[in-house]
Copies of this chain bind each other. A is one copy, B any other.
Amino acid sequence: MDFATLIGLLGAILLIVTAVVLGAAPGVFLNGASLLIVVGGSLLVVLAKFSIPQFLGAFKAAARAFKFKLPEIQTSIEELVDVANVARKEGVLGLEGRELSSPFLGKGIQMLVDGQPGDTIKQLLDKERLMTLEHNRSGAKVFTAMGDVAPAMGMIGTLIGLVQMLSNMEDPKSIGPAMAVALLTTLYGAMIATMLAGPIADKLTLRMTEEARLQMLYTDALVAIQQGTNPRVIEQMLSSYLPPNKRDKAPEAEAASG
């Protein structure tokens, strides 16, 4: 479960709802027609920009991003050092049937077992990484589009409300409330863009970048294993993927033991 997004989104929405409920006239803030224009209109316009599978896939991707976590870089490095040790002692055939934390890694190790050359492994895994990245990007793009379209639909709703109000100003007392309602769609649009679509698009982009980095780590390791590199050297090489503060310890320990 991704707690940062959960706490962040729920907390921010709760904050705004509380401010509205404790303030004057909370009932004014809920308006069915305004909601329909902004939420319905934005969903329909965004649907028009993609294909139906991409549109639905984005929501599935978002749900998946909240539920499953990627393995830690540290854990993956340890798994790969294990793999390298086995390959060193028993040969690559010793890796057959091994349970692995990722299907991408599994595909790479199968190529290793099949005795494919390092260049081919690198080329095929690079292609796979880039195609996965491009595919995942469409999930983030749906929510980015939502973040662009929702404020525009909000402005369209407000303009409609203003035109209606301005062409009908007999009763001066009705002007204020009519304008309040007209502003609601702009508020909805801003909230959807800032507090929902934006964070989800950014989280999906972050996750897809991290997944691609993990796949680059797997590829580096598999090519090194195929070339018979010393597992200790592989570990040092992969330590670049760790954040600098964790990474700095490794080389010193390495130097001490070296």
Q: Which A residues are within 8 Å of any B CB, using their own CB?
A: 2-5, 7-9, 11-12, 15-16, 19-20, 23-25, 28-29, 33, 36-37, 40-41, 44-52, 55, 57, 103, 106-107, 110, 114, 124, 127-128, 131-132, 134-136, 145, 149, 152-153, 155-157, 159-160, 162-164, 166-169, 176-177, 179-180, 183-184, 186-187, 190-191, 193-195, 198-199, 202-203, 206, 213, 237, 240-241, 243-244, 247-248, 251-252, 254-255, 258
Contacts and interface: CB of A to CB of B under 8 A. Distances in A.
Nearest to A152: B194
A176 B166 contact: yes
16 contacts: A4-B47, A7-B48, A8-B47, A11-B44, A19-B33, A19-B157, A45-B194, A49-B203, A51-B206, A107-B251, A124-B240, A132-B244, A136-B244, A163-B184, A166-B180, A166-B183
A237 B124 contact: yes
